[in-house]
Structure 1
Amino acid sequence: MSRVNGFLEERLMPVASKVGNNKFLIAIRDGITLAMPLIIIGSLFMIIASFPIASWEAWLGEIGVADYLWKGTDSSFGLIGLVASFGIAYSLARQYKVDGIGSGIISLSAFIMATPFISSDAGAGMPVAYMGAKGLFIAIIMGLINGYIYQWFINKNIQIKLPDSVPQAVSGSFSAIIPGAVIITMWLVIYGALTSLNLPNVHDIAQVILGKPLGLLGNNVFGTIIVVGLNSLFWFVGIHGGNVVNSVMQPVWIANLDANRLAYQANEELQHIITVSFMDNFVYIGGGGATIGLVLVLGYLARKKHTSKQTKALAPITVTPGLFNINEPTMFGVPVVLNVMLIVPFILAPIVNVIVAYSALAMGLVPLTKAAASWTMPPIISGFLITGSISGSILQIVLITLDILLYLPFVLAIEKRYKALERKEESTVKKVNVDKGIVS
């Protein structure tokens, strides 16, 4: 085991660390995370509007509230692409020690610049679909390109500089003029060229270039198993797997959830099983590695009389956060990181969750997800909210039971090791006391 741990630390850790610290991946993660409150707020409006009681929905329609609730959903959930175009450029510029707000604003303008407008009697307008999940892929591409170009100009000092006596807010806005003009003009030329040649707009092109390959990986059970396995492997070597793997796949899962939302609003059949809600609330229960099974086993053992001191100390700091899907205390406290004794269930538990949950939704035993719950929402409650059915909660209970059974034999082995170490320590202390003539 020490040899395996040595190999992981010397060979895999440096590689994983470089991937985990990649500026572009961090920018994607932070930019999309910036939009997550809107997804959750929009989902709350949606849950209220579509609460699974027929008389409730009918009553909301009769009093005229339903349309306002759906308006709230469209005006929050439906803006994630727009927000991400700002957030990704903002995050990337900040990592290069450059003003992020200027970068984000320029990127937001370029995003709107590259989006085809629609005309009506009220005037030209931007399609709502492109502001939402449909625009998420081009938001990623443009956010990264725009953020990098912006920081390059600033760091190369190609900017309008005002005297130090000028307020920072004013001088900062002038600094953005040259890189902003270049970025916006560049996307305007691209938009004009595509339009004049009757080619698809940048959103449709990005959907093919980025959306299709990622969709092949993230829209089927086999690809999802690979993604989940990679997430666990990154976590195992001490890198936040969600920040690396999920930041790449999240646009696909969010787009799938948004497509389900729109289908539900239109009274059409929902199409996507694997969504961001599916991953957060059915696969990663308790956090990466589905560690809710691990912490519940620790909590159970801690209540027993002859449990090791180590387990009794770990239970309070791991169980409560674990119920809210916060597993950093578990990852570094047990620890799970670089602990060869836990690698099997840590990889296997979320994979089992994928297979069981996917099968349940595919067979129609549980409705497909159409709303998002906060990732810190405890299981059983979140299962009901994202599916609108008690069967979602029942599925979570089944998954948690399976996770407990998977972790149980491995935790018992670790507990046995804890006890052996404590007995050895007590024996050593007793021997030292005897040698010193101390009678206990």
Structure 2
Amino acid sequence: MNKFMQVLENVLLPVADKLNNNRYLTALRDGFMVALPLIIFGSIFVVLANLPFLDKLIGKDAYSTYQSALGPASAATLTIMGLFVIIGIGSKLTEHYGGESLYGGVAALAAFLILTPQTFEGVNGVIPTSSLGAQGMFVGILTAFIAAELYRFFTQRGWTLKMPNGVPDAVARSFSALIPITLTLSTFLIVRVIFEYLPYGSVQNFVYDVVQAPLTSLGSGLPATIVAVLLIQVFWFFGLHGQIIVNSVFDPIWYALANENLQAFQAGEELPHIVSKQFIDSFIVGMGGSGMTLAVILGIFIIGKSRQMKELGKIGAPAGLFNVNEPIIFGLPIIMNPLAFIPWLLAPVIVAVFTYFVMATGIVPPPTGVIVPWTTPTILNGALATNSWQGGVLQAVNIFIVFTIWWPFLRIMDKQYYELERSGEGSSDVNKSA
């Protein structure tokens, strides 16, 4: 076991360190964080607009009016979430280079809009919202990276307008950004014109067919999901925030899948995907935190005889109810603990496979695409994510599965701690009598 862990450490830690410090993945992660409050706001109103049985309580006409009144909340946030992510990525990457983050963000947004076809069903000057959401997500991410790099390149070359002393600082910064932004956006305009003469017709069509569709198809499958879950657990075992590292790579795929589910849900159609952002967040991470440690806390209360286990349960339970599990990860401990290695890796994978097949068979509906705040307690979390009571029941079953896997390992750990405490008390009594 020690040799195996050493091999894993030697192989994975350098990779994780590079991923964690990669400026593009960091900007991608932070860009999604910029959009997250708006995404959650829109998700809350999607839940409110689709409360179960409400149409039967107030009538179909009143229900339709009610949904129309709440509709703009999600239309102005979730439907066009790609725009907020683009601004976030552009500003964060520009900030990394020490530039004016605001101008980096708006340059990225303008570049994306230049590339986006502005026609819809034969009407000019109209941008379909699908291009600003899931379908345009990958184009937006790539555009934000390239626009921020171009803006940095032109700025660092000194191709800026220098204003005389005495000019207000805000005005000076605005004119300083003029030439870099002009050159950046002109580059994207040339790219748009070139693609209009190619078979794809637009950058969106090219990226969606060549990049986004294959990646989305891969990311929506069970094998890729198992790999992602395993990597999260392995990185955490070695003390690295596995969720942040893995999410940096998979979030664009998972969010795109969630957005497609949301569009189908709002249209009353069958949900196209099982795996999405909320599949991971609600049914893997959203049950006490990474590793679903709410079940571990439950096991501690049932099994625990040692003073260490009992105190850890008291400390970890309040935080674990809201999916914060650092007390358990560092207090049990899980990090670099050989006894925790097997259940820590095994439980989330088994739950992911079980959840996938339960949803694939129709016993529980897949997540609707609504982004539930990650601190939402278990059971309620699953019900909100799937807009059904079955989602809450599935979380309860998943907790039982994790608890069953951890049971023998927790007993061994608790026995070790108990014997150490007893031997410590015994030596202390000997010292006192001496």
CA-based RMSD: 2.5
For 2:31 and 2:63, locate their aligned partners in 1 and report how far apart those are by CA, in whole Å. Answer: 39
Change (3 A) 1:364 1:4: closer
Aligned residue for 1:134, secondary structure, equals: coil
Equivalent position of 1:19 in the other structure = 19
Change (3 A) 1:428 1:23: farther
CA shift for structure 1 position 164: 6.6
Deviates more, 1:120-129 or 1:194-203: 120-129
CA shift for structure 1 position 374: 0.9
* 8 Å CA contact retained: 1:20, 1:240: no
Change (3 A) 1:429 1:274: same
* 8 Å CA contact retained: 1:103, 1:176: no
Change (3 A) 1:424 1:127: same
1:313-352 mapped onto 2 (5 Å cutoff):
313-352=311-350
For 1:208 and 1:255, locate their aligned partners in 2 and report how far apart those are by CA, in whole Å. Answer: 14
For 2:238 and 2:164, locate their aligned partners in 1 and report how far apart those are by CA, in whole Å. Answer: 49
CA shift for structure 1 position 40: 2.0
Please state if 1:146 is matched with 2:169.
no
1:390-401 mapped onto 2 (5 Å cutoff):
390-401=389-400
Counterpart AA for 1:112? L
Please state if 1:43 is matched with 2:37.
no
* 8 Å CA contact retained: 2:303, 2:410: no
Equivalent position of 2:387 in the other structure = 388
Change (3 A) 1:350 1:106: same
Equivalent position of 1:295 in the other structure = 297
For 1:144 and 1:329, locate their aligned partners in 2 and report how far apart those are by CA, in whole Å. Answer: 37
Aligned residue for 2:181, secondary structure, equals: helix
* 8 Å CA contact retained: 1:324, 1:378: yes
Unaligned stretches of 5+ in structure 1?
none
Change (3 A) 1:64 1:328: same
Equivalent position of 1:266 in the other structure = 267
CA shift for structure 1 position 430: 4.3
For 2:163 and 2:295, locate their aligned partners in 1 and report how far apart those are by CA, in whole Å. Answer: 59
Please state if 1:402 is matched with 2:401.
yes
1:365-376 mapped onto 2 (5 Å cutoff):
365-370=363-368, 371-376=370-375
- Per-residue CA deviations over 1:103-134 (Å, capped at 9, x if unaligned) read 10110111111101026899612211111121
288, 292, 303: which one pairs with 1:286? 288
TM-score (norm 1): 0.90
For 1:279 and 1:355, locate their aligned partners in 2 and report how far apart those are by CA, in whole Å. Answer: 12
Counterpart AA for 1:388? N
Counterpart AA for 1:439? S
Equivalent position of 1:354 in the other structure = 352
* 8 Å CA contact retained: 2:118, 2:124: no
Deviates more, 1:108-117 or 1:263-272: 263-272
Equivalent position of 1:228 in the other structure = 229
Please state if 1:413 is matched with 2:407.
no
Please state if 1:363 is matched with 2:348.
no
For 1:138 and 1:119, locate their aligned partners in 2 and report how far apart those are by CA, in whole Å. Answer: 18
Q: Alignment identity in percent?
A: 34
Aligned residue for 1:125, secondary structure, equals: coil
Q: How many aligned residue pairs are there?
A: 431
* 8 Å CA contact retained: 1:341, 1:410: yes
Counterpart AA for 1:295? I
Deviates more, 1:422-431 or 1:371-380: 422-431
Counterpart AA for 2:295? G
- Per-residue CA deviations over 1:217-239 (Å, capped at 9, x if unaligned) read 32111221111111111111222
Change (3 A) 1:375 1:56: farther
Change (3 A) 1:11 1:262: closer
Aligned residue for 2:52, secondary structure, equals: coil
For 1:361 and 1:293, locate their aligned partners in 2 and report how far apart those are by CA, in whole Å. Answer: 22
- Per-residue CA deviations over 1:288-328 (Å, capped at 9, x if unaligned) read 222222222224445xxxx2222233223322222212222
CA shift for structure 1 position 216: 3.8
* 8 Å CA contact retained: 2:161, 2:178: yes
Aligned residue for 1:28, secondary structure, equals: helix
Change (3 A) 1:317 1:176: farther
Equivalent position of 2:240 in the other structure = 239
* 8 Å CA contact retained: 2:292, 2:402: yes
Change (3 A) 1:111 1:204: same
CA shift for structure 1 position 365: 0.8
For 1:139 and 1:273, locate their aligned partners in 2 and report how far apart those are by CA, in whole Å. Answer: 24
Please state if 1:101 is matched with 2:99.
no
Deviates more, 1:408-417 or 1:200-209: 200-209
For 1:282 and 1:163, locate their aligned partners in 2 and report how far apart those are by CA, in whole Å. Answer: 59
- Per-residue CA deviations over 1:164-223 (Å, capped at 9, x if unaligned) read 754443333233222212221111111111113342422222223432343243211122
* 8 Å CA contact retained: 2:160, 2:177: yes
CA shift for structure 1 position 421: 2.7
For 1:198 and 1:230, locate their aligned partners in 2 and report how far apart those are by CA, in whole Å. Answer: 39
Change (3 A) 1:6 1:251: closer
Change (3 A) 1:255 1:15: closer
